[in-house]
Chains A and B, each alone.
Chain A
């Protein structure tokens, strides 16, 4: 489960763009470094129960991605409290750390450990990952020989190789051709059926109303409305 209490994220950017250390030092000595505060998130209170599928909707720039970052621990909140009752698997960045010179297998190890999985777990799941990605012997070839579709399939396979406790989605993610996309959606569905707590950011209202029981409408960093997804979508469309 996920619990956010009074969470705020405040970015503090210098008014002037100080690209090099020399510029910064000069301005600092002149005491002319001024900062501008920007609250990407302000006073967020949110509770997602175990096994719930929760939607986050809002206009561009409302803070949806920032909210995902706070939950995936990329950002430490400026204020407030974030409680996570399980391991978070963000399905946000597939193929992070992929290196073109390493083989597919080596990249699975690198990407997998980046995502926090121990090596022996990766070795145990390797056959399954290769099978899901439909790569066959290509797994032993360097990544630079892969097409973008193959790399994407591999990234998806590694990221979804384990049943997640908490799943974060930024838009419904399905890669590859139609047949593979159906496999992706089937795997997502199996997670939902097994009771994975899911937090889904989406602009696709049809998907949100079909899949999510509850939803939150985020506007200018604040929660405008939380409730059953149908009601929230209706108000969002009207507002």
Chain B
């Protein structure tokens, strides 16, 4: 078989010469990075174009929750200094996780219809869901920092650690999103079950309540075996406590984020070829 002299190397495709799928997916994503930007833009623009509050809605939702929770629990948790800031910092981290993982499944289902007609890197939809969540998270930082100041807590330089915390949160959410969306394409009830898991999971993580509410004997199960415990703490400690994340929290977050992302990516990529085989 002869190949002629002039050809665009980047567009040659040989189905037998594909490298490991996990790596091919990564290459594909880089090539289609403009698509991810467009998908995120579409999410944000379409959501806010016709709403009266516009982009302010992103900030309003967690703020609203914080107000309600503060009013309800301020007596119960009055030992917690600056409870509104405690709750809001936990909620911002938690909402990022729960919203991006849920959106990952929805986007994957929407995207799978496209995949049946056009070739695309399959991870693009989940990655764009995380991307949209990141933009919303960064916007939510503004009211969060305002609340910290209003509540009278000192705003320390430690919040410059946040980009790392956010990256760890994003990596973990991406891993979980990839793992679950690979199922969610085939079975619609996976997304529903996940919502229920999320509710239970929220109550097992010290987002709304302070740690000391849970008796010592349960703390191992509730916190130390709970991946979101570490990730919420790695986000909350620099803002609310004004300290860098403790060694345990930092190491725990790094391991969890990295392992989950690797697992999610590999499992998703290994099943991705089958997506278009399911009618």
Contact = CB atoms under 8 A, between A and B. Distances in A.
B39 interface: yes
Nearest to B12: A85
Nearest to B183: A21
A50 interface: yes
B276 A50 contact: no
Nearest to B31: A116
Interface in A68-92: 69, 72-77, 80-88, 90, 92
Contact of B35 (A92, A93, A102, A114): A114
B279 interface: yes
Contact of A96 (B34, B114, B186): B114
Interface string A54-79: 00000000000000010011111100
Contacts of A13: 279
Given A21-B183, A74-B115, A82-B15, A113 B38 contact: yes
A227 to B, nearest CB: 20
Contact of B34 (A20, A21, A97, A119): A119
Contacts of A97: 114
B218 interface: no
Contacts of A73: 13, 119
B119 A22 contact: no
A105 to B, nearest CB: 12
Nearest to B21: A76
A21 B193 contact: yes
Contact of A86 (B11, B45, B119, B120): B11
A24 interface: yes
B4 A90 contact: no
A125 interface: no
A229 B11 CA distance: 29
Contacts of A142: 49
B15 A93 contact: no
A3 B37 CA distance: 34
A84 B34 contact: no
Given A11-B277, A21-B189, A102-B46, A96 B7 contact: no
B126 to A, nearest CB: 16
Contacts of A21: 183, 186-187, 189-190, 193
B13 A82 contact: yes
A86 B9 CA distance: 8
Of the four ranges (under 10, 10 to 19, 20 to 34, 35 or more), the interface on chain A belongs to 35 or more
Contact of B39 (A11, A83, A110, A118): A110
B187 A24 contact: yes
A21 B184 CA distance: 9
A109 B38 contact: yes
B196 interface: no
Given A86-B7, A113-B35, A165-B8, A93 B118 contact: yes
Given A21-B183, A75-B276, A113-B38, A3 B1 contact: yes
Contacts of A20: 187-189
Contacts of B114: 96-97, 114
A154 to B, nearest CB: 16
Interface in B91-131: 114-120
B276 A74 contact: yes
Contact of A92 (B16, B34, B117): B117
Interface string B38-55: 110110011001100000
A114 B12 contact: no
B17 to A, nearest CB: 9
B3 interface: yes
Given A73-B119, A74-B115, A106-B42, 7 more contacts: A21-B189, A74-B117, A82-B13, A87-B8, A92-B117, A101-B46, A101-B50
24 contacts: A21-B193, A50-B4, A72-B118, A72-B119, A73-B13, A74-B115, A74-B118, A76-B273, A82-B15, A83-B13, A84-B12, A93-B117, A97-B114, A99-B42, A101-B46, A106-B42, A109-B38, A113-B35, A113-B37, A114-B114, A115-B118, A116-B32, A116-B35, A116-B119
